Amino acid sequence: MGLLKIFDVAGSAMAAQSMRLNITASNLANADSVSGDPRKVYRARHPVFAVQAFDRDQGDTSTGVRMLGVVESRGAPAVRYEPNNPLADAQGRIYASSVNSVEEMANMLSASRSYQSSLAVLETSRDLILRTLSLGR
């Protein structure tokens, strides 16, 4: 792996975790949303990541992370009987989001720690490069 490829690898990891944090924040913001139609209720979203290879044709074996897309949860929404709710359907039911707030908070903590770890890798790499350059002085 080339000396500067570490910045590509750590940068791709930071971008992935940043996207994960944004999606998790969106899930948490919509955790309490309800709808009168089960097809329109908010469903938790989750990012899908894959390995990204850098310059394989030049013999480089370094890899990073890239986002393939976002998938929606297929879990059934929670059904509640609230006939006085203005969003209730004809039977008085409303449908609540299937977002699990505890799971989302765990995802947020994990993504935040992963982001911090990648940042530490970048800072350490930068410091080592600067120290190496100062050896010639």
Over residues 81-126, the pLDDT tens digits come to: 988 888 888 899 999 998 999 999 999 999 999 999 999 999 999 9
Contacts of 77 (CB under 8 A, 6+ apart): 35, 38, 41, 43, 95, 96, 97, 98
Average pLDDT, the chain: 88
**DSSP states along 80-110:** EE-TTSTT--TTSEEEE----HHHHHHHHHH
Q: Where exactly are the structural domains of the chain? A: 5-134
The two structure tokens encoding residue 32: 């309490």
Q: How confident is the model at residue 56 (pLDDT cuts 50, 70, 90)?
A: low
